[in-house]
Chain A
Amino acid sequence: MAMIDHSTEAAPPPETRAMRLRNFWADYRQSWVAVAALIVIAALLLGSFFSPFWVPQNPYDLAGLDWLDAFLPPGTVGSGGYAHLLGTDNAGRDMLSAILYGLRTSFLIGLTAGVLALAIGITVGLTAAYFGGRIEALLMRVVDLQLSMPAILLALVMVAMLGQGIAQIIFALVVAQYAYFARTTHGAASVERRKDYIEAARSTPLPTSRIMFKHLLPNVLPPLIVVATVQVASAISLEATLSFLGVGLPLTEPSLGTLISNGFKYIHAGRYWLSIYPGIFLMITVVAINLVGDQVRKVLDPRNSR
């Protein structure tokens, strides 16, 4: 809450912003683990989004699959004439291709849900902080109630009501997560609102929405960035969990969760690669995002400022 004390101007001139960015990077660089995590995320993002152009196989084009290739252990050369580095699954899919396609879906869901939850959370938080009174009490009571329940439970309620599919999952994730953003925004914004410059802006004929988004928002951004990183990671993890439980994406949609869920059936048969490798990718993704979030929090924390 006290994080935003250092910048009271609503819109800093561009050169300061560039300078701030450079300072931010200089601080961020202090931890090599965090830098490595950032590189890993970039590699995974690029690798998965461009996967159709470079992986050996489109794993969801049924015509390209050969049943004879089923359950090949990692490294085996299949009928396609190339080595399946991470093996193949029960339908003869190349696991590496399937994982990268799946990762793309996971990222898409995590990022979309994160951005939507961020937008809704900011709107709710700013509205509550700006108007105060009854509106604030009502909105924040709902947010607090939601926060007292685990996200997975809320997501379960939502999928129980909405059924399966990408849109439904994203909706469930947004419902489960917007409250974190709303609480953070509200906390930072209500500190900010009491400051004189907002009072000054309110006495001018500026429209309410303009004051909220142009003047309040920039000051609540730093803590939101941290929450956003963590929430994207937990959205990805939550989607995988729901899909694993069988209430998330249908098996025909490639995501890390559905891949692991599918592979789980075969672990007793010693075919570990069907579930282990997508799991490793999931773990690396989630841990890397969390490490980046941790470092961003440290850098933005004014108590650590030089």
Chain B
Amino acid sequence: MTAALELKGLTTRFQTRTGHVTAVNDVSFAVQKGRILGLVGESGSGKSVTGFSILGLIAPPGEVCAGEVLVDGVDLRQLREEEMRKMRGRKVAMVFQDPMMTLNPVLRVGDQMAMAVRVHRAMSKPAAFEEARKALDAVGIPAAAERLRAYPHQLSGGMRQRVAIAMALLHSPSVIIADEATTALDVSIQGQILAEVRKLCDQTGTAIVWITHDLAVVSSLADDICVMYAGRIVERGTAQQVIDYPRHPYTRGLLDSIPARHAPGTPLPQIPGSTPQLSRLPTGCPFRPRCPKASDICATPPPTHAIDGQTVLCHHPLERS
């Protein structure tokens, strides 16, 4: 079966004054139809750039310089710009973090949605509005017809994010990339939306790449998890494997710093140091300076270890206990 989305060796670089910076480094993963992949990492790890690279929305000084982006088996990087544009929104859709900013403040919700409908399907304006109304119904927005006449600022944050999700669903795309889609929302609304997304994904068979810094969110939502660090995927596996038996010291560190996993009153462990600057990465394993298990050998490029489909990029992978 062809995966809904498959990345092979995707690499994206940015030209800076001091030379090239590789923001996405040889990233490969696959998401099957109807599955949810959690892409986890700290800010600056390259997870958002991965999302934009998939959609071909990297603008100079950035450039996708290697790899394949296969959507239903078609390599998007081989398409001409105009063909690529027609894929966006129709085959691959994206939802962004800030629901305040992603909708145009001066256009009515309905007009923006109708525009998104009509760009890929020839239909009259009233018909497009009807499509938009159905899409809002589908994501559980009450009084959808009324919301279409509203301006974005008249809706609550959770409502706006539902609108954005509804827009992503308009053309029943093969893949939706959700970039920190619930991060800006209250926890209760976040939970509602996550449940909604899970349901939609099961119903429509759309594959989802859920980008977040919050491992706790994906642990309950995703089928598979990829952990990114400094542009590379350092660990990949099913959600259960990665959460229950993390093999990369970085993943372990992330899991240990989730408050819910500790008894109240006990000190919360933290990963020492901070996210490295991509322009000044150490040789070998980039996590080396912060890693409790680092040794001299870590100055050489780390090898890949794989057990049961769980792969890890490390010289000293943790044993499954």
Direct A–B contact in the complex, CB atoms closer than 8 angstroms = no
Residue ranges of A at the interface with B (Cβ–Cβ < 8 Å): none
Residue ranges of B at the interface with A (Cβ–Cβ < 8 Å): none
